[in-house]
Amino acid sequence: MNTKTNTLAAITGALLACTVATAAELADTARIDNYLANELAIREIPGLVALVVDEDEVLFVEAHGQRNVADGLPMTTDTIFRIASMTKPIATTAIMMLVEEGKLSLDEAISDYVPEYAEIEVISNFNASDGSFTTRAPASPITIRQMLSHSSGLAYSFASDTVSALNGNGINGITVPLLYDPGTGWSYSHGISVVARVLEDIEGIGLDVFMKQRLFDPLGMNDTSFVVPTSKNARVTTTHNRNAEDAFIENANPDEIRSGVSGDGGLNSTASDYARFIQLILNDGVTADGERLLSSAAVAELGRNQLGDRLVSLQDEPSPNLARSFPLGANRDGFGLGFQVTAAHSIPDMRAPGSMSWAGIFNTEFWIDPATGIGGVLLMQYLPFYDPDAIEVLLGFEEAVYSELR
């Protein structure tokens, strides 16, 4: 063997060693599975599906409990869940496709497309006792970037005492003033749904059609849709509500399982389907078949903190039966375009800084950890959102995964 061949062999060997060293592997998946089974029994949660994925394959997937308690149907790994606001990161990914194509700019004013937002004002004084308030003009227009990063000043009523009070006084929709000047705070809102409607106007098709053509079909997300085909109804889990006595009240599924098409919620999906979306992000915008759907720069922008020196803030709890205060990482993390972005921390056996995550109101959660090369999905289906038991299971699942990660 000549010197050139020896050198090539050495380089090839080094590259293979790096590949082996960086490939994700879970040492003991049984420990993770046992943790989930035990927690489900202790906390009497009806059912869940948990999954861990790396760039190329599923490392762990298990189902526990029941998807339909009344009918005695077991939870299965292909169970379909209402993923609610886990729709948002998919919608912002779709929107970034238009940005890449030059059809939309993140720093354009949303009022250029939805003129009503040119008239919106900011609360300058608010009286919580009677809901009265005064307003002023905002310091700057709301941009599309701010709509996608929840820094517009808009807020959902279930996450804001102020907006909840205003709604109670009959102030709804576009007439609700902003909580703060655009770009100066963080509050969870419907902004992504507004920009998704802009996408529909630009493309001349519904968001559901755009997502199917540009994301779901190329990724093989065949169980993800706003309307569940009747042939798949039996695979859809029921929802539950946890009452004041900590009992779970099951809600039977309707004959037709559908939701309105929106960028801020409504999709039905499985853990395996969502894993394909996670892999798209882990692979910098390329599908398992090698098709590039989004540039590396666009993926990076989705996961880049858009808040500057501001932080994600803990949201109010005006409707505790619907949602408790959220999110984890409040007063520490940043926010990208549709994704919460993990800031530096010193917590062992947890996702790395720069990880991207979000959740859905029925206690569905996911994270994407580009530094480590893995993502996780934990799907439950009950209210209230951020129920302490659901959060404890999520944190324990994450710790179990990282403690077993090689």
Residue range 345-400, pLDDT digits in tens: 888 889 999 999 999 999 999 999 999 999 999 999 999 999 999 999 999 999 99
Amino acid type, 233: N
Choose, from 88, 117, 189, 274, the residue flagged as catalytic. Answer: 88
Helix 191-203 to helix 87-100 angle (10° resolution) is 40
Chain-centroid distance of CA 320 in Å reads 21
- The CATH superfamily holding the domain 25-86+207-403 is DD-peptidase/beta-lactamase superfamily (3.40.710.10)
Beta carbons within 10 angstroms of residue 71's beta carbon: 12
Share of the chain above pLDDT 90, in %: 90
pLDDT in tens, 57-114: 999 999 999 999 999 999 999 999 999 999 999 999 999 999 999 999 999 999 999 9
The answer to whether the predicted template modeling score (pTM) of the entire model surpasses 0.85 is: yes
CA distances from 216 to 181, 224, 276 (A): 36, 7, 9
Q: What is the mean pLDDT of the chain?
A: 94
Residues of the chain with pLDDT under 50: 1-21
pLDDT value for 42:
96
| Segment holding 357, helix H or strand E | strand 356-360
- 88 part of the active site: yes
- 103 part of the active site: no
Choose, from 156, 188, 386, 402, the residue flagged as catalytic. Answer: 188
Helix 29-43 to helix 388-403 angle (10° resolution) is 170
CA distances from 106 to 47, 50, 86, 102, 363 (A): 40, 34, 21, 10, 30
Q: Which residues contact 327 (CB under 8 A, 6 or more apart)?
A: 312, 314, 315, 333, 340, 359, 386
Rounded CA gap, 155 and 289, in Å? 39
